[in-house]
Structure 1
């Protein structure tokens, strides 16, 4: 009996070693051909880390300068570790908090409404010209592409917006001129053609689904990565826009954030270059943190959109996990 037990244990050890060896040989034989070597993976990770830091570092540097004392900037220039810290720039901007909060509200309203309107208009247009059963898809595709190459010009656009549409000094003047973008239409059209299977739509039509139901319950979820992309671009476009307000807005209650900050910076620059005109106000001008205030304005204008970007990221990831029909 002891000999039998010893034999069985020996066989178990041999079989276990054989299984492990077989798994090792199998893993070596069927190793993923696209897998990177650990050394190459480490080098690429380091390079991508350096690239990511180089993208984030300028914004960090701007934040540091915005908290630097104005006298330190005048004496030593811009420093990564300033010798004098100060919040005078933010105190100066806080002195005009009513105008800033009002402009923030206008910008947030324009960004949200504009993004929603822009996304729906672009996706509706792109979905229509991506379907082979739409008779005039070639004409409308050419119409969108043509506007990428040629435009009516600034003066005709201004006349249409102010004289025909009567949008001057209204919130819609900040939204509608930027609602349609031909480049985004072409992007979404290509996305619909490549990512949405026609068999899904045919099966839905055979089940009696209307085009509206097909779009909102099938097309929209499947196209979430593309829609999130153009939504992000539209959001950035509306948030950073100041030229539209310069053209169509005279009412101070409708001035968006970027236009207000541009006016503040222009006033600071004007006072700096025309000290002979503002000689009576020189003592007041000397107390204004000019350089740090400019950097503080960059932080105020950029930080909210930078903080909100990770919320868009989850829609990219979740949209990629949505499946479809395999042809």
Structure 2
């Protein structure tokens, strides 16, 4: 066998070994990301007595559904809050993606006269925030949106970061020649955007949709500021209130014998973990549907000129 063939065999052998090593490393990294959530699920099904005696364990001595049973007793409030959260997430994501994509498309076009001004304007709003007090005054006094569902949607209806991502995505993936051809054929700007640009920008749209949906799903601060009605409380804020009530009752259980007896039946740790599972599982299940577009959209849209 010649030296050239020997070197090729060695290179192929080394390539296979390196692939195996990298696959193992990626698998370990993936497992390290999934394991904490699996551990939380296990704890949520562990009995309170087992947690007090043996602590956290992968294989608990005693299993229990009391954490979920306690939350099931509040199913009326939880279902109402879940409906509000789903409504806000869906409508808010649609509004956010619409505003973001149209803004980014405008500043990505070289024939738009004020594209530099609006690009700098978006960057300034991303770097400098007006603060909580001016935002509160605008929402409550100027727009009169306090204690309405729009107070949960409009504060996050436009994302400067997503605008910059989509702007770069449009400039790098949508050839100017295609847009010029559409204009020559007599297509309007709106028709060009909806029929030609958007189908080419599906990876970018999916990326910013995931960012927006995640932001709306996890938001509780706007509810703390603007929502007083129990019928408009989102899921994350309701779970935080349940957690605060459990902590308060735990700290003040000695004030009343009846309260103390009631606290003995509340699985505090399991309930905390059950709330984490309830708030995390739905949005985690949505990731596989976006995964097809997420990586390409994020990498292409994140490249700077």
Per the normalisation by structure 2, the TM-score is: 0.91
Cα distance in 1 for partners of 2:194, 2:296 equals: 17
- 1:79 has 2:57 as partner: yes
- Runs of at least 5 residues in structure 1 that lack an aligned partner in the other structure: 1-24, 321-327
Aligned pair partner of 1:41 in 16, 19, 30: 19
**Hey, what does 1:17 align to over in structure 2?**
none
- 1:249 has 2:230 as partner: no
1:213-232 equivalence runs, <5 A:
213-232=191-210
* Paired residues of 1:222 and 1:319 also in contact (CA < 8 A): no
The 1:129–1:278 alpha-carbon spacing in structure 2 relative to 1, beyond 3 Å, is farther
Q: How many residues align?
A: 289
- 1:309 has 2:262 as partner: no
* Paired residues of 1:111 and 1:235 also in contact (CA < 8 A): yes
Aligned pair partner of 2:215 in 218, 223, 237: 237
Cα distance in 2 for partners of 1:111, 1:133 equals: 34
Aligned pair partner of 1:286 in 264, 284, 289: 264
- 1:117 has 2:78 as partner: no
- 1:148 has 2:126 as partner: yes
Per the normalisation by structure 1, the TM-score is: 0.85
- 1:179 has 2:153 as partner: no
Aligned pair partner of 1:105 in 83, 90, 95: 83
Aligned pair partner of 2:148 in 170, 188, 192: 170
* Paired residues of 2:169 and 2:297 also in contact (CA < 8 A): no
**Hey, what does 1:52 align to over in structure 2?**
30
Deviations 1:106-129 (A, max 9, x none): 000000000000000000101001
RMSD: 1.9
- Runs of at least 5 residues in structure 2 that lack an aligned partner in the other structure: 299-305
Aligned pair partner of 1:195 in 173, 176, 199: 173
The 1:311–1:210 alpha-carbon spacing in structure 2 relative to 1, beyond 3 Å, is same
Structure ID, larger Rg: 1
